[in-house]
Structure formats: structure tokens, C-alpha cells
A and B are shown apart, each in its own frame.
Chain A
Amino acid sequence: MTRMAELSNKMLAFLVIAAMVISVFGTIASLSKLGELSPLVTGASSTGIVNLTVEKLLSINFTFQNEAGAKVGAGNFSWGTGSVTGGASYANLSSRGTTDNWNGSSVTGSMNIENTGNRGVKLVISSANGSAATFAGGTAPIYRWNFSEQEVSSCLNTTNSEYNLNLTKLAGSFWENSTFNVNSSVTLCGNLTFQGAADEILMGIYIGLPSDSKTGDLIDVITATISEAT
């Protein structure tokens, strides 16, 4: 019985050692097998990749804005068909609704110039006619544009691109402070910014139409030109 017990202990020790060796080799074999399989099971812990490329965009929007501040889409300044009335030497027409000595229609509103891109832009305004004399003719005609910031700090300067109109009093001063004779071309903003709350300029028009002006259709195209601010 004792002999049986001694044999049994030896056998047990052998079996324990054999089991440990098999276990170690088994673990190694399992791990290496998992390594081989890993490409097949990546979906079990997949990584989502979001890929998008944001492009630089220069974009500008020129829309008609009414006195209440609402943008009402594309439009132009049109005082209709009429003439200087009552023997007056001038008709005064402004985009703020003024129509003195004029029997055509009126314009109430302004042009809103908005930077709708994602870059600051240099903004140049140009007139195809370039002067009151070319546009209207007659004795001492007046053709002026007025600029103001619809949103404060929209129109900034850069070292390389300074504006050449005195716009220091733009903010909140529509019509009062920043009225200029129409030129063929002026740099309005060295940097019209693109931030949502600071990217809009307003433009109004004033015409002093002399009684001896040209007749027929008086036409001008005002172009807002943008390029990336540097």
C-alpha cells in the first residue's frame, strides 16, 4: 500500500511538470496562432477615419438690402424713367429714398457686400463710368457712393494692402461720414474679413442730376473685385 502511494506521488509530480510544460507550449502556440489570425479579426476593434479637405475659398455676395436691414436678393439702383421737374437745376436722387425734383420712382435701400468665403479679401470697388461727367453729363453733375460697415470691424487694413479711402468713421455711420465722388477704382478694404459677425459692407448712391444732363438710359456697372488679402 505504501509502495503504491510512493509510486503514485512520483507519478503525480511527473504529471504536474508535464502539464506545466504542455500549458506553456500551448499558450505560446495559441498566441502565435492569434497573431496569424489578427488581420482577419480587425473588424472586432475597427478604427473609423474621417477624412475631409477644406479648400480656401474666395467668395463675395452683392445683394440689395432694404432700409429694415433685410437682404432681398439681387437688384440694382433704379430710379425709373423721369426728368428734372419744376424748372429746378438739379434733381437729387439718393438710395435713401430721396427724390427731389424728380418725377420717376425712388430707391430706398443699399447694396450689401458680404464676404462669404473663408479668407480675408482685398476689396476694390470700380465704376465702369468712373465719374459723374461720364455717367450723367451736363453742368456740374454729382455721382457719389457711400460706404459704411454693416458689421463693425469688417473693413480692415493690412501692411501690404492699405485702403485708399478714409474709412475711419465707417462704423454705424451710414450716409453721414463716408461719401465719396465715384472714381474709376478705389481699394475699399485691405482686408474685408470673413468672420460671421464682421464681414459686411454697405454701399449707397447719391446722384445730383443737372437739368441739362444726357438723356436716354444712364447706365453704370459697379464691380466689387476681391483677391486674397496679403
Chain B
Amino acid sequence: MRCKYLIVLILLSALIPSASALIGISPTDPQYINFQPGLEIEYTYKIYGATATTDILVYSEGDLNETITFDKDRITSENGYILKATLKLPDRIEKPGPHKLFISVQTSPGFLGPITPSEKAQIPFTIFVPYPGKYVESHFNVDNVNLGEEINFIINLINRGSQDLNTVYSTIDIYDSRDVKLKTLETERTFIKSGESKDFLLKYNSSNLLGGGTYKAIAKVHYDGETQELEDSFRIGTLNIDILNHTRELKKDTINKFNIEIQSNWNDIIDNVYGKIIIDNKQSETPTTKLDRFAKETLTTFFDTAGLEKGVHEVNVSVFYDKNRITSKISQVKIVEEFKISMTMVLTAVIILIVLLDIIWLIISKRKKKKNE
């Protein structure tokens, strides 16, 4: 019998609403809409988090927020979790350009304390109203590659103007690091209707340029007699590592930290990277690591200078990577002696001081004696 009551209690406790406050909305995608007079679109969302003690408020906010209406303005634990939203654009919007608004759902706490938390989830809507005449929104991107790979030049164009574009094409000029033009590429010519977009993709093999290094690409977008200029830079990677710098000074007869600053010139991860230093037949190695694409890193090892004389020594710094590749650098490192005050020095100084004081005291005593005589 007791067991039965216990089961009933457990079932009843499951009906008690969760004390935790949560909000959820699905799907989540931001919406991008090109303005069309009178356009009407219906959206369906699932809203989570309404409980017996917490309702969820539904509203739109932002620019043009009046264009979105809902089938309910409050979601409760009783009226279901499906929300229908309708976007209805007017026949005309005066201000051209992007207009941003949000569908917002927010918990409405059952009671207010001094400082009460509330959760809110938003779906952003961007409505693009065409600019009068011809207007192109453009994006240009070039990714880094390794030597021998194809370079992809991507130009994304969106016709944000109210007029169609009859002749659209682009040229891309490639420059080296000294601004010397190396190559010009050109896309096909095309037509872009108002509100539509077009991607141009041009490929060029990196072997045809000047090897590894940094390059600049300038894209000129030509549309019906007008031009826009865009710029991006890219790197062509070669599988090697540069030694940028290293520790220049070490203390004598001490275990010293020795840093080696390195940089990858490769557009991919380089595995099994470690450094080795040799000074007067004594050597030390760093732990093995991996180097991210074009990354700078500091390799660290510890070097014992015991037995090495102070002064300038030749150091051989090597970096090993990718199984059998090595970058080496012959350089110099200075071993310096640290000035330390030892107990012997202190005692010697004290003795010298006492002797000096004695001598002074003797001289003064003799002078006084002479005066008295």
C-alpha cells in the first residue's frame, strides 16, 4: 500500500513544473530577403520553455518591425509551442539599403525580484531595399596556398541596385611584395538582374608566380561603365621553417633557458618540429611539437654552460621537421659571468675594513700623543 502511495507521489512530482528557466527556438537561420512590393512569406517556429509559471512573450523589434505579425503574442504551457510568423512587405519602402529586424521570444518571469534574469532568443531578418540606379555589393577573397597548388580568386557580386546590370566582369591583377605587377586575369562577361548575385571564380597555378612569399591581388569589378576596386593578399607556402631569433646571452656555470623563435612558411601543419643547439661540442634539444600554418612559435630547451669559458662562442642552431628537413643557422652567443657576493668576499671586506680602522686609530693616537708631548 505504502509503495502505491510512493508511486503516486513520484508521478505527481513529475507534473511539477521545472524551476529552471529556459528558452529555445527552432529553426535558427537568419533570413535575408530582397525587397519585393507586397511580398508575403510565412514562417513556422517551435518555441520551447513555456511552463506553468513562465510564459513566453512573442514580438518583433528593430527596423520595419511592423512587417512581421504572429498568430499569438504569448506562448503558454497550454496553447502549444508552434508559432506562425508572417512577413508582409509594404508596396514601397523609402529608405534603400539593409533593414534589420528580429523575431524575439522572451521568458516572462512569474514574479519580479530585485534583480531578475530573463532569457531571450532572436532570429534576425535583413531586408534589402534596392538602391536607386546601379549599385553593386562586392566581396573578394583569396586563400593562401602551397607552391604548386591552384590559387582560387573568388569575387562575389550582389546587385543591390534597382536596375539590372547588363555587362559585368572583373579583372584581377597580381602583384609581388614590391608592387610589381606579375599577371592579369579576366572573368567572363555576364548579366545580373536586380537583387541577384553572381560568383566569379578564377584559378591560377601558384607555380607560375615567383615562388614562396606574400602577394597582393587587386580585383576591379566593371559594371555598365562603372568600376569598383577590391584588394586582398595571399601567401604561397613553401615547406620550410625560418629561424627568426634565439637567446643571445647565457650565464656561466648555470643551466640556462635557451629560446629559438621560428616561423613556418607552409600553408599546412608541420609535424615533428624540434630544435637543437650546439655550443663547443655541448648540445641540447627542445621537445618535439607541431607548427600551425604560417605560425610563429618559440622552441625552448635548457643548456648547461658548466665548463665553458666566458666570452663569445659560436652556436649552431638547427630546427628539424617533416622527418628529414633541417634549417640551420650559425650564430653567436655570449657567456657572461654573473657577479655574486659570496660570504668569503663579505668576510674579507670586513677584515680589510677593521684593519683600515685600526690603522686610522693608530695614526690618530700617535698624533694625539705627539701633541701631548
Q: Quick check: is B373 within 8 A (CB to CB) of the other chain?
A: no
Knowing A55-B27, A74-B21 touch, does A62 contact B118 (C-beta < 8 A)? Answer: yes
Query: With the chains together, A78 CA to B111 CA distance in Å?
Result: 12
* Cβ contacts A to B, 7 pairs, < 8 Å: A55-B27, A57-B26, A58-B123, A62-B118, A72-B19, A77-B113, A227-B122
| Chain A hits for B28, CB < 8 A | 56-58, 117, 119, 228
Contacting chain B: which of A84-92, A172-180, A212-220?
A212-220
Q: What 0/1 readout, one digit per residue, does chain A (216-230) give for beta carbons within 8 Å of chain B?
A: 011111111111101
- Chief secondary structure at chain B's binding surface: strand
Interface residues of A in 195-219 (CB under 8 A from B): 205, 217-219
A222 pairs with B118, CB closer than 8 A: yes
B20 pairs with A61, CB closer than 8 A: yes
Min distance, Cβ B16 to any Cβ of chain A, angstroms: 11
Interface residues of B in 74-123 (CB under 8 A from A): 102, 104, 106, 109, 112-123
A58 pairs with B121, CB closer than 8 A: yes
Q: Which 4 A-B pairs have the closest CB atoms?
A: A73-B19, A76-B113, A59-B24, A77-B115
Min distance, Cβ A144 to any Cβ of chain B, angstroms: 12
Q: Quick check: is B209 within 8 A (CB to CB) of the other chain?
A: no
Chain B: residues with CB nearer than 8 A to chain A? 18-30, 46, 48-49, 54, 102, 104, 106, 109, 112-124
| Chain A hits for B112, CB < 8 A | 76, 219, 221
Q: Quick check: is A116 within 8 A (CB to CB) of the other chain?
A: yes
A-B contact count (CB 8 A): 122
**Is the interface on chain A under 10, 10 to 19, 20 to 34, or 35 or more residues?**
35 or more
Knowing A55-B26, A73-B20, A228-B29 touch, does A60 contact B121 (C-beta < 8 A)? Answer: yes
Chain A: residues with CB nearer than 8 A to chain B? 55-63, 71-79, 111, 116-117, 119, 205, 217-228, 230
A226 pairs with B120, CB closer than 8 A: yes
| Chain A hits for B117, CB < 8 A | 62, 74, 76, 111, 221-224
| Chain B hits for A61, CB < 8 A | 20-22, 119
Chain A residue nearest in CB terms to B116: A76
